[in-house]
Amino acid sequence: MEKRRIAVVGFGHVGCGAVEALEVAPDLELAGVVLQDEGEIRRACCSLGSVPVVRHLAELEKVDAALLAVPSRCVPKLAPPILETGVATVDCYDIHGDPLMTLRATLDPIAREHGTAAVISAGWDPGTDSVVRTLLEALVPRGITYTNFGPGMSMGHTVVIKGFEGVEDALSLTIPKGCGLHKRYVYLKTRPGTDFDALVARISQDPYFAHDEVHFFPCEDVQALVDTGHAVHLERRGSAGKTHNQKVDFLMSVTNPAATGQVLVSAARAVLRQRPGAYTLPEIPPVDFLPGDRESLLHRLI
């Protein structure tokens, strides 16, 4: 069986996780890593040995799909030109609601026009948790689903904070309060001369934080606090048919970058099995995420 060739764009926590998942995938292979920053290029070259590390996707030989392991706010600009070359894209865009649906609506006609496909928000939330929420609602059609994150490090929120002027290092932790409510603990190491209170005010207005209860703490050694573990507890309570008091739970505890990287790689397999267009994870048959032929997989899983 010829392995499909997958490029990884970005080599942060999630990019590293995706590379590791590709290294053990039986049907996929790493075509190379795409980076712009010179320091990141040197670090990747040291880590990856003979794996090509390039500045542009076009420098790699035959790429079937590109995994966009980049900050979410970079995806809307980065994905379209890749799709226009006929290469499929998979991203881990993590902004829920209207921005996610706008991205899907933007990429769908581009992918269709160029005969390829895109999978968006292929992380674990949004992503695999979205699939679980769909199944929970199928089991319990009337009711409420509570999504409880953490406690753990939010990579997306941490990346956003690090982009603020005056921040030298940062960590954002998600703390569950129960019934879908959360608070965030943000640890900040600021650059000399930075007004801490003014910085906090700016961060608090960012859409990533504006709707949450957030507590900020000055910190001289953020790295001493970093643990990339995370968790989620999904609860669905309601009725099935005319029967009330139905309750279904899903609990997951993971190393965040490894989980996200693995979902990206599984979605890379799935995107190559879809018709042209843009998809979220709940729209894709679950069997398409797994290696092997469909009949054998169904025989084993059913």
Return binding residues for NADP(+): 42-44, 122-126
Token pair in block for residue 280: 């979220």
Check: CB of residue 94 under 8 Å from CB of residue 254: no
Token pair in block for residue 272: 């190559």
Binding residues: 42-44, 122-126, 174, 184, 230, 256
Task: Give me the residues paired with residue 34 across strands.
Answer: 9, 54
Of 229, 217, 230, 121, the C-alpha closest to 182 is 230
Q: In Å, how far are 50, 151, 188 from 219, measured between CA atoms?
A: 39, 19, 5
Q: Residue 233, class by beta-carbon neighbours within 10 Å (0-12 exposed, 13-18 middle, 19+ buried)?
A: middle
Check: CB of residue 211 under 8 Å from CB of residue 246: no
Check: CB of residue 64 under 8 Å from CB of residue 117: no
Token pair in block for residue 14: 């999630």
- What DSSP character marks residue 64? S
Check: CB of residue 75 under 8 Å from CB of residue 103: yes
Q: In Å, how far are 37, 172, 243, 253 from 40, measured between CA atoms?
A: 5, 23, 56, 29
Check: CB of residue 290 under 8 Å from CB of residue 269: yes
CA–CA distance, 137 with 144 (Å, rounded to integer): 9
User: Amino acid letter at 231?
Assistant: A
Binding residues for substrate: 174, 184, 230, 256
Question: 155-162 and 256-271 are packed helices; what angle lies between their axes, rounded to 10 degrees?
Answer: 100
